[in-house]
Structure 1
C-alpha cells in the first residue's frame, strides 16, 4: 500500500482527522509585463538596438500591435503600440492608455497560475472582484486550431486590487513539432545574454497598501527593503522563484520623479543575464554612457537608463540561482 493510502487507512481506523491539504498558491511565478511604446517601432528599436534584445514579431489585431521579448525561463515582456486612431482596445488597454496619455510605460502585469480555476474561485471566496475567465479564440493563428485547448486563459479584476493592473494567466501546452520547438528555443536567445525574469517593481504612494493587496490575493511573506538606486522603500514579496517589489518613494530620486510624473506604475523589471559585464558593455554602447554597477536585491546589478525611452527602467543582474527575496534580512 502506498504511504499516503496507508496513512489514510490508519487515520480512518483510529477515528483521526487527516490534516487538510494546503490550497495551491494563487500564482507560481511572474509571467509578463505589458510595455507600451509611443509606437510599436519606437519601443522595438529601443529594446533591440540600445539594449540588445531579440524582438519577436506578434500580431496587429484591431490596431494595437504587439511584439515580444521572450526569455528562457518562459517569462517575457509584451511590447504594445497603437497603429491607427480608431484602435479597438479592451478595458485593460483603455485603462493603461488613460494613465499613459499616449506615452511610453507599463501599468499592467501578469502572474502565472497553473491552477487558474482554483485561483479564480479563491479570489471570489475572498470577496475580490475577479472577472470571468477569458480565453484565446478557437481560430487564434498562433494556437493549435479548433478542437484543441485555447492557447491562453486568464482572468483579471473588475476593480483594482493593486496600484497597477493585474491579471492571472495560464497556457495550453505549446506546439511540439520539431520546427515549432526549434523556433521557440531560438526566440529565447538574446544578444545581451538575458535569460530570466526575476522581479516587477510596483511603484505607488503607499507600498503598505500594495503589500496588503498582495496578501488578500494570497501572496504573502513580505520582507522590508530599500532600493537606494531609485530612492524607494517598501517590500519584497516572493512569487515562486521570482518577486514583486511593492515600493514607494523614500525621499527625492527617480521613484519620486516617476510617481509625480506618471502616477502608480510598473517602475522597472529585473532580468537575469548570463554575463553581466558583457550586458553592461552592450547597454553602455547603446546609450553612449558609463553605467554604475551595484549590489541589488538579486546581487551584482546595473540599471539601464531607459525611463526617457520606455517610461520604465530595466535592471540587469547576474544570475545567481536564488530569488530576489532570498536571504534578505529585516530592516532595523
Structure 2
C-alpha cells in the first residue's frame, strides 16, 4: 500500500502545483489587462472636435467675429474646406464647410453629414494617444472593431516629405462605440523650421484669451451606455453630475487632465430639444480662458447680448448663445479651477 499512497501524494502535489500555476497565470493575465486598460486611459487626451458650418466662411466668421477666436488657414481638398482653432496645449477645433455640390468626403464625413443634412453641428471627436498601436490592439481585444490605422499621405503639403514619418496616424471604428463618432490619433514631430516656429506661436494668440479645449459634451438618450463603454475602453472614475443650465444630467468622465461629459436630458430644456431635433450629438465644448471677464465681454460684444455667469464643473463660467450659429454650445470657463471630475448640482 505504501507505493500507492506515494503515487497519490505525488498526484496531489502535481494537481496543487497546476492549480497554483493556473491561478498565478490568471492573476497575471488580469493584471496585464488592467495595466493595458490603464495604459490606454492614462496616455489618452482630448485632441480635437470636428465642427461643421453651413459653409467654411460662415463657421469661420462666427468663431472669429462673435466668439473672438483666431481661425487659422487650412486646405480645400475635393470640395471640403477646413480651418483650425488651435490652443497652446495642442488641442484644437477643426472647422469644416462643404464648398461644392460634388465634394468628395471620407466615410467619417459622410456619417456626420447623414446626421447634419448640411446644417451646422458636431458629431465626431478625437482622442490623442501616444501608444496608438497598443491602443488599437487592446481595443480590438475588447471587441470594439477598430479600423486599420490610416496615415497622412506621403506628399502631405503640411508634412516633412515622403522620406519622413507621416504627419499623423489614426484609426476609427467599424461600428459606433459611443453615441457620437470617435477616433484615435497621434502625430509625428515635425522639423522646427523658422516658419513653423512662428506659425505655432502666433496660432495660440486668441483675442478672447482661449487656452485649451478642456471638455467635450456628448448628448444621448442613454448616458449609462456611454459610461460603460468608456470604462471598457480604459476610462474609469465617472462621477454623476447635473447641468441645470441646459437641463441635463449624466456623468463626468476624466480623460487625462480634461473632462468628457456624457449627458442626457433632465426634463424639458436645451438638452431635450437638441436631442429631439438632432439626435445623439456633441452638444457642446468647454474652453479654458486666461481671463473670464475679458472673454465674456468679447463674446457679449460679438452677440450684442448680456450673458450670465454660473459656477460650473470647471469653475466660473458662462455659455455663449451659439446653438443657432454652430449647432453647438460653447462654454467658456476660468483657468486654474482644478481638473478632477466632481459632482455639482448648481
TM-score by length of 2: 0.88
Q: Distance in 2 between matches of 1:213 and 1:248?
A: 16
Any stretches of 5+ residues in structure 2 without a counterpart? 1-26
Change (3 A) 1:195 1:233: same
2:52 corresponds to which residue?
36
Deviation (angstroms), 1:330 = 8.2
Question: Aligned match of 1:188 in 204, 208, 224?
Answer: 204
Q: Does 1:251 align with 2:267?
A: yes
Q: Distance in 2 between matches of 1:330 and 1:123?
A: 32
2:316 corresponds to which residue?
300
Q: Does 1:322 align with 2:338?
A: yes
Deviation (angstroms), 1:181 = 1.2
> Residue 242 of structure 2 contacts residue 344 of structure 2 at CA under 8 Å; is this kept in 1?
no
2:162 corresponds to which residue?
146
Change (3 A) 1:249 1:234: same
Q: Does 1:221 align with 2:234?
A: no
Partner-residue secondary structure (3-state), 1:99: helix
Q: Does 1:271 align with 2:287?
A: yes
Q: Distance in 2 between matches of 1:261 and 1:296?
A: 25
> Residue 223 of structure 1 contacts residue 330 of structure 1 at CA under 8 Å; is this kept in 2?
no
Partner-residue secondary structure (3-state), 1:191: coil
Q: Distance in 2 between matches of 1:209 and 1:62?
A: 36
2:258 corresponds to which residue?
242
1:69 corresponds to which residue?
85
Task: Identify the structure with the greater helix proportion.
Answer: 2
Deviation (angstroms), 1:174 = 2.8
Deviation (angstroms), 1:329 = 4.2
Q: Does 1:49 align with 2:65?
A: yes
Deviation (angstroms), 1:56 = 0.3
> Residue 273 of structure 1 contacts residue 318 of structure 1 at CA under 8 Å; is this kept in 2?
yes
1:107 corresponds to which residue?
123
Q: Distance in 2 between matches of 1:179 and 1:102?
A: 36
Deviation (angstroms), 1:321 = 5.6
> Residue 314 of structure 2 contacts residue 337 of structure 2 at CA under 8 Å; is this kept in 1?
no
TM-score by length of 1: 0.92
Partner-residue secondary structure (3-state), 2:330: strand
Deviation (angstroms), 1:215 = 1.4
Show the 5 A alignment for 1:103-182.
Answer: 103-182=119-198
1:9 corresponds to which residue?
none
2:40 corresponds to which residue?
25
Change (3 A) 1:104 1:330: closer
Residues paired across the two proteins, number:
313
Q: Deviations over 1:223-282 (max 9, x none)?
A: 000011100000000000011100000001110010001000000000100000010001
Any stretches of 5+ residues in structure 1 without a counterpart? 1-16
Answer with 1 or 2: which has the greater Rg. 2
Moved over 6 A (4+): none
Q: Distance in 1 between matches of 2:343 and 2:295?
A: 29
Partner-residue secondary structure (3-state), 1:211: helix
Deviation (angstroms), 1:182 = 1.7
Q: Deviations over 1:295-315 (max 9, x none)?
A: 000000000000000000100
1:7 corresponds to which residue?
none
